[in-house]
Structure 1
């Protein structure tokens, strides 16, 4: 009876996600590399023109994804936490889209000066 009781309690214990140090070093190296890539992309901001922001946001999204997956352990977590994080990003995108639509729909005013 005691063995069955202990077996049920073992299922409810939270086990930490133990990851090898080499994985953290690889992800950290990738984050440093992407940071350097961001600085290099900034050097070419005139050549990139309108795509400058798109490149910067793309690199930032990749870095955020690495941090979420590996350092915040979403890769090993359950799907409910992934849905919660994804809903936060969804509402951030909705907020940004409303801002873009608001700015794009404004009437152009010419200064009398």
Structure 2
């Protein structure tokens, strides 16, 4: 009989993601003013880190894969920055 139970680390990271989801939903209903978006982005970054480290198994990989993952994040940042600059420099209608 094979062991079909998932490793405890995956279950723990899944529970952490569920807890962060509950925190995001709870904080969405609190009147935080301008900090609402900042808190949501920080929580989303923590969730993305958990997914990358545990589910994509980046913690067990070599330096080359980490460099490519970082390059992908860098490229995403460039695209978001360029899109934001287009939005910020348009004249109001």
| Cα shift at 1:58 | 1.5
| Cα shift at 1:105 | 1.1
Matched residue SS, 2:36: helix
Equivalent residue number for residue 25 of structure 2: 39
Residue deviations 1:51-108, cap 9 Å, x none? 3222222111111111111111100100111111111111111111111111111122
Alignment map for 1:14-25 (pairs within 5 Å): 21-25=7-11
Q: Any runs of at least 4 consecutive aligned residues in structure 1 with deviations exceeding 3 A, and if so which?
A: none
Aligned residue among 33, 41, 45 for 1:49: 33
Aligned residues between the structures: 88
Structure of greater Rg: 1
Greater relative CO, 1 or 2 (CA 8 Å, sep 6+) = 2
TM-score w.r.t. length of structure 1? 0.70
TM-score w.r.t. length of structure 2? 0.83
Unaligned runs of at least 5 residues, structure 1: 1-19
| Cα shift at 1:40 | 0.7
Aligned residue among 6, 27, 45 for 2:13: 27
Unaligned runs of at least 5 residues, structure 2: 1-5
Matched residue SS, 1:80: helix
